[in-house]
Amino acid sequence: MMKEMVLYSSSEEQTRQLARRFASLLRGGEIVFLRGPIGAGKTVFVKGVAQALGMKSSPTSASFSLMKRYQKGKTTLFHIDLFRLTEGEVFNLGFEEMLEDEKSIILAEWPDPLAHILPADRLEMDFALDGADKRRITLRAGGAVSRVLAEELCR
Ligand SMILES: Nc1ncnc2c1ncn2[C@@H]1O[C@H](COP(=O)(O)OP(=O)(O)OP(=O)(O)O)[C@@H](O)[C@H]1O
Ligand SMILES: [Mg+2]
């Protein structure tokens, strides 16, 4: 059985702080699936990671608003949001290209349509509302890379 780890945040600032710590653990090649309801804090977390890495958003094609690309030096971070899309709708949109550079960091909100496109070694982060500004974040690792990441984050 996959081991679960749980983290708590009691404010947006605390989620940003968690994102900064998370960013410091990244080596490249990590994939994160962020789940949870609207307003749970997934985007706050992703933006916090990109900011902590000192990354600038770099333009992707105008039609491709499902994917934001952040760049710093040789490191690329993809922020994906597939709200309300289905696997059939994202098929053939070229998401596999993200995998060409094995050091790319991929953070995906509403990631279900990518479940079969991306490798299984990914960190699942489930954000749950836990009253007002409280959030409960459950981590599940799908392989060796994401397991190390989760363990370091929870340390
Ligand atoms: N502990 C917390 N962590 C993160 N955000 C919080 C927290 N407490 C309150 N908030 C607020 O919750 C909202 C989170 O918004 P955010 O856009 O990150 O949600 P989301 O999970 O990306 O939703 P969506 O599914 O619509 O993309 C923000 O308005 C933020 O200020
Ligand atoms: Mg969001």
The answer on pLDDT for 48 being more than 70 is: yes
The mean predicted confidence, pLDDT, of the chain is 93
The answer on pLDDT for 9 being more than 70 is: yes
The answer on pLDDT for 120 being more than 60 is: yes
* Sequence-distant (≥ 6) Cβ neighbours of residue 67 within 8 angstroms: 60, 78, 79, 80, 95, 98
Q: DSSP states of 85-120 as a string? A: --HHHHTTS-GGGGGTSTT-EEEEES-GGGTTTS-S
The answer on pLDDT for 33 being more than 70 is: yes
Between 141 and 63, the more confident residue is 141
Burial 71-86 (b: 16+ CB within 10 A, else e): eeeebbbbbbbbeeee
Provide the residue ranges of all domains of the chain, joining segments of one domain with +.
4-154
Q: Which of 132, 153, 124, 154 is nearest to 26 (CA)?
A: 153
**CATH number assigned to the domain with residue range 4-154, chosen from the 4 options 3.40.50.300, 3.40.50.2000, 1.10.357.10, 3.40.50.1100:** 3.40.50.300
Closest ligand to 136 CA? Answer: 1
Which amino acid makes up residue 37?
P
- Between the CA of 152 and the centroid of ligand 2 the distance, in Å, is 25
Tokens for 56, please give them. 């600038």
Residue nearest to atom 13 of ligand 1 (CA): 39
79 within ligand 1 shell (Cβ under 6 A): no
pLDDT at 3 (0 to 100)? 80
The answer on pLDDT for 63 being more than 70 is: no
Tokens for 131, please give them. 């009253």
pLDDT at 137 (0 to 100)? 98
Contact 111, 33 (CB under 8 A): yes
Burial 113-131 (b: 16+ CB within 10 A, else e): bbeeebeebbbbbbbeeee
Which amino acid makes up residue 2?
M
